[in-house]
Amino acid sequence: MPALKVDHLTLSDRDLDFLVQTASPEVADRANLKRIIREDEDFRNTYIADEKVFRRLMDDDEVFLKISPVLFFKILLRKAVNDLGKRSYTIEKTTTMRIPVFDTKDLVELLNQESVLDYLAHMLSSFTRINSYTISVRIGKGIWKKIRFNDLDIQSLKNFCESVEGEYRLAFYKRIADICLFILGIFPDFAAQNYRYPLSRKIRPKVPGKARVSPQEYEKEGQKFYKLAAQHQSAIELELSETFWCLHQNFHKAKKPLNFIAEHYLQYRRQYLFS
């Protein structure tokens, strides 16, 4: 499972080199500048939000060979803060219409919480690689059953979560909630089309062994599992409880900057990034 601890200072030397070479190529003492960027959060954010950095990110199809996924998504989220701040509304889509919602101020305020933006960057980066697991579970005396699942499979994660002791459940609560937010944020079209036929709008029939989840159910489950994560003792010890509560209470808002990123910055790169 993805790591639980969200480190605000995860930029590697390679990340720092990318920022300095892109935003300040003329600086002679790069080692000192990198030290300042690493140590000063506000100064670091000015580099991450620099337009030259964003443009290089968009123009380079092999950028993941040069920077970490976490920095990649921090740059996109900072760009979303700037671009949403220049707009007065976002668009919410229903089955029949597009509705303007005047909520950009709330979205910017949410992303301006450093802990939330960092969490979302780490969350998105965790989906650039999906891991599969096989775990043996004792179901009787001398009887063991192998459970296979991957960390993008909500139902398998929920089933396995029920079989482990409560003290070990935080990672599962977090991942299930993250999946819901990720799908509704980055692949909302998948959530809608996997539940209804795109032309007739009829609900697809249930397929044995395959979950059929509506967008509304994804949102409900996401809120539920962020709440469970927030209440877990380990989340308090890891100083993640407040962030989980924020995402529980603002789940609908949290998915909208991700919608904005998917539509305006990633577009056809989504399949490549989240293969």
Taking 70 as the threshold, does the pLDDT of residue 135 lie above it? no
- Euclidean distance between CA atoms 15 and 71, whole angstroms: 7
pLDDT digits 0-9 by tens, 59-98: 998 888 899 999 999 999 999 999 999 999 998 887 678 8
- At 204 the pLDDT is 82
Evaluate whether 270 touches 262 at the Cβ level (below 8 Å).
yes
The token duo for 241 is 């409880």
pLDDT digits 0-9 by tens, 23-41: 999 999 999 999 999 999 9
Taking 60 as the threshold, does the pLDDT of residue 2 lie above it? no
Banded pLDDT at 22 (limits 50, 70, 90) = very high
Evaluate whether 54 touches 67 at the Cβ level (below 8 Å).
no
| Percent of the chain whose pLDDT exceeds 70 | 90
Banded pLDDT at 8 (limits 50, 70, 90) = low
- At 155 the pLDDT is 86
What angle in degrees, to the nearest 10, is found between the helix axes of 215-231 and 241-249? 150
- The residue written with tokens 């482990």 in the block is 164
Taking 70 as the threshold, does the pLDDT of residue 228 lie above it? yes
Stretch 192-217: mean pLDDT: 79
pLDDT digits 0-9 by tens, 236-272: 999 999 999 999 999 999 999 999 999 999 988 888 8
pLDDT digits 0-9 by tens, 144-199: 777 676 778 888 888 888 878 889 899 999 999 999 999 999 999 888 888 787 77
Would you list the domain boundaries of the chain? 71-275
DSSP helix/strand/coil, 194: coil
- The residue written with tokens 């960390």 in the block is 151
Stretch 132-149: mean pLDDT: 70
- The residue written with tokens 């396995």 in the block is 160
Taking 80 as the threshold, does the pLDDT of residue 112 lie above it? yes
- At 202 the pLDDT is 82
Taking 90 as the threshold, does the pLDDT of residue 141 lie above it? no
Stretch 8-28: mean pLDDT: 91
Stretch 95-110: mean pLDDT: 91
CA atoms within 13 A on the CB side of 218: 26
Banded pLDDT at 103 (limits 50, 70, 90) = very high
The helix (run of H) or strand (run of E) holding residue 110 is: helix 104-111
DSSP 116-134: HHHHHHHHHHHTTS--EEE
- At 65 the pLDDT is 86
- At 243 the pLDDT is 97
CA 73 to chain centre: 9
- Euclidean distance between CA atoms 226 and 11, whole angstroms: 26
